[in-house]
Structure 1
Amino acid sequence: MRLRRSRAVAACSVAVLALTAGCSFGPPGPDQAGSPPNLPRPSVAPTAGGDESERQAAVTVLAGKLEVPWGIAFLPDGGAVVTERDTARILRIGPESTASGLEVTEVKRLNEVRAAGDGGLLGIAVSPGYKTDRTLYVYYSTDRDNRIGKLAGDGALQPILTGIPRSIEHNGGALAFGPDGFLYAGTGDGTPTGAQAANAKSLGGKILRITTAGKPAPGNPVATSPVWSSGHRNVQGITWDERKRMFATDRGQPRNAELNVIQKGKNYGWPKADGNGADPTLTDPLVSWPSEASSCAGVAALETLVATACVVGKRFKLLSVTGNGTVLGSPQELLTDEFGRLRGLAAAPDGSFWVTTSNREDAGTPAPEDDRVIRLVFSDGGAGRS
């Protein structure tokens, strides 16, 4: 499959930040509940492909001038909540639009967060019962540890799981509800030696599966532990495809970054394996790439496609995954070096991909419009149908 990007990038590049002082978790008005987002269009529509081997994409910038946007989760009305790692703000993007993009408002700034290195306000998840419970869940760093907390209707942050290892690098941060209704979190090892990932008693270097109260979910490999899988370096993205297969990115290895298919109780190798290994007791990744050309964070799935957003590699990778779990053809690349470092990624309810840039951090080179939220739409009837 050959992937070509439409040369058109929409002129709507910057959304106005309309900041609000309070928490806006209250119920939506009757004219907004369940309404689709009013999305800006690309300035020029992509050219229709001649066959299925030519998958083209149109790119629209939905919002700009953000500060290291990290997690993305969608609300029932089609708008999204987005975290900013370093400012500890939760932003609401859309579904309302302005002349320059989607409307951006500040929902909440979390004073409990202590940002440093790659720690701060990281993943965010919307409760499956959000229409009635108005609850958000966040993964965040303090001075001592990483935590998972919930924000209910009153806007107060309540920790539900503490003691996840904290370090300057490799803090993990992925957070999402699975098809089973339980909350999954990806953590980082946080040590040079990989001691946390190999330690069954540590929450570091793991994928966790918990209830909304922060307790180990029923059916976990060990009934008293929140650990679902182990042997991870730095899990910053998790998702499920239409077959309910779980995928997770793992970055921070010296040589190879990974995309893994996650299964209950499996060990994914760190620190013994960096990419594919020969140890039959460890689980090899679905795909691994040289870290300097990938180091992918966000991951999302739409139909038969699985996509990753790469921070160091500054590109968007797209894989076609078959029904039996193998990759069809070679992974395709998009946006290489066009928007800089890419981090957050989510599949939107309308069938598009939303991806964030991460240029306003120490290793980035920001443009005046950074950081941005970008929407990708594919024109051939695949993911991201208009």
Structure 2
Amino acid sequence: MPAVLAVGALLFSAGCSSDDGGSPGSASASASGSAVRGSSSPGGEATPAAKGSVEVVRTVAEGLDSPWGVAVLPEGGLLVASRDEGTITLVDEDSGKKTELGEVPGVSAAGEGGLLGIALSPDYASDHMVYAYFTSASDNRVVRMIYDPKRSPGDQLGAPDTVFKGIPKGMIHNGGRIAFGPDGMLYAGTGESGDTGLSQDKESLGGKILRLTPEGEPAPGNPFPGSPVYSYGHRNVQGLAWDAKQRLFAAEFGQDTWDELNAIEPGANYGWPEVEGESDDSRYRNPLAQWHTDVASPSGIAYAQGSIWMVGLRGQRLWRIPLKGTEASADPQSFLDEKYGRLRTVIAAGGDRLWVTTSNTDGRGAPKEGDDRILELKVS
């Protein structure tokens, strides 16, 4: 097993039981307050530099209300989901103009629930389907809708077709990130809704990463026959991304001690609630990197320039985790520390660019004039 490189003293912070990171605990950690597992990987992959850089190029858009999921349209434009309003807005990435496309019916926004992740169909060019993960009155579910830009603004979303339902809901830990993988299957990160026992129950949809066909059936080749469950033992997954070799990574909220970035393997058990962060128990997969909860509370992740980029809510910063294979090749490095408040979503924008959304109007931040906003970053 690779050696563990511990950076900084072990800190215990209290009161981070919610996914978004509530009030800060009494302990604090510096940007280096993390632990990294390092090893080499086969295949002769180029390893990114140990130290990177981030430049804020511009503000793409302002005045967004509780932005959560973001999808990039191939014809240009960003679709942005409002958690609390239950609406999807088209943002012109050049001018910053915002056009509300419509409201997703059935969204029940309370606590950490509402309209969360969105993703485009793998066949978007022909079917114009937009997928959305949201909290309803009874559960968390995934629907799909036709986006018709020829209709009048405010009425451009078709009636939702429920693709998958029955994911446990709660005031906390609703998961919510969805993404289509390189295999064309739909992946969904779920939370255990505050019921920790669900994470280890492979019959439950809570505390899992699910893998579905675009029609919402358990995907072929899943590790548990007939089940949508792809991995389990998660607390609350809100970040999904694939690297250049199509390997899946996921960010996960811890409770009081460790937040995690995991390399995901089908059928693997990531330990919650039996362990939080790294352990010596071989039954559970260890994270490739972990952070004290006051410097992370991670939501979205993206892959660019050989690194995973992870945004933090309570931590109010952007983390860079350089990769070699499925291991971190150097200590994580933080940027934008407390400059823009809470950060929710990060999207690879091609080449050396990222788009990052703030999350200061979600009831837990301190909104400033212009919040919430989308930033364009140049990274290395």
In structure 1, give the amino acid aligned to 2:306.
T
- Fraction of identical pairs, as percent: 41
- Cα distance in 2 for residues equivalent to 1:283 and 1:303: 26
Q: SS at 2:329's partner residue?
A: strand
Q: SS at 1:190's partner residue?
A: coil
Match of 1:70 among 52, 57, 68: 68
State the partner residue of 1:256.
Answer: 258
Q: Structure 1: which 5+ runs fail to align?
A: 1-50
State the partner residue of 1:116.
Answer: 110
- Cα distance in 1 for residues equivalent to 2:363 and 2:353: 30
Query: Quick check: 1:175–1:186 contact (8 Å CA) kept in 2?
Result: yes
Report Cα offsets for 1:120-175 as digits up to 9, x if no partner. 00000011111110001000001110001101256111111111000000000010
In structure 2, give the amino acid aligned to 1:237.
G
Runs of 4+ in 1 over 3 A off after TM superposition: 51-54
Q: SS at 1:314's partner residue?
A: coil
Match of 1:287 among 278, 286, 289: 289
- Cα distance in 2 for residues equivalent to 1:215 and 1:52: 41
Q: Structure 2: which 5+ runs fail to align?
A: 1-48, 148-156
Counterpart mapping for 1:97-116 below 5 A: 97-98=94-95, 102-116=96-110
- Cα distance in 2 for residues equivalent to 1:174 and 1:85: 12
- Cα distance in 1 for residues equivalent to 2:336 and 2:115: 26
Match of 1:165 among 168, 174, 179: 168
CA shift in 2, pair 1:54/1:72, >3 Å = closer
State the partner residue of 2:25.
Answer: none
- Cα distance in 2 for residues equivalent to 1:54 and 1:213: 40
- Cα distance in 2 for residues equivalent to 1:221 and 1:227: 8
Judge which range, 129-138 or 154-163, deviates more: 154-163
Query: Quick check: 2:254–2:260 contact (8 Å CA) kept in 1?
Result: no
State the partner residue of 1:29.
Answer: none
Counterpart mapping for 1:81-160 below 5 A: 81-95=79-93, 97-98=94-95, 102-153=96-147, 155-160=158-163
- Cα distance in 2 for residues equivalent to 1:240 and 1:53: 21
Shift of 1:328: 2.0
Judge which range, 328-337 or 210-219, deviates more: 328-337
State the partner residue of 1:364.
Answer: 365
Report Cα offsets for 1:52-107 as digits up to 9, x if no partner. 95634233111111111101111112321111100011111124x33xxx221111
Shift of 1:350: 5.3
Report Cα offsets for 1:196-246 as digits up to 9, x if no partner. 101111000000000111100000012211000000001011010101111
CA shift in 2, pair 1:52/1:238, >3 Å = closer
Counterpart mapping for 1:228-377 below 5 A: 228-322=230-324, 324-349=325-350, 351-377=352-378
CA shift in 2, pair 1:310/1:56, >3 Å = closer
Q: SS at 1:301's partner residue?
A: strand
Higher RCO (Cα < 8 Å, 6 or more apart): 2
Query: Quick check: 1:241–1:303 contact (8 Å CA) kept in 2?
Result: no
State the partner residue of 2:7.
Answer: none
Normalised to the residue count of structure 1, the TM-score between the two structures is: 0.81
Normalised to the residue count of structure 2, the TM-score between the two structures is: 0.82
CA shift in 2, pair 1:175/1:56, >3 Å = closer
- Cα distance in 2 for residues equivalent to 1:315 and 1:106: 28
- Cα distance in 2 for residues equivalent to 1:268 and 1:346: 25
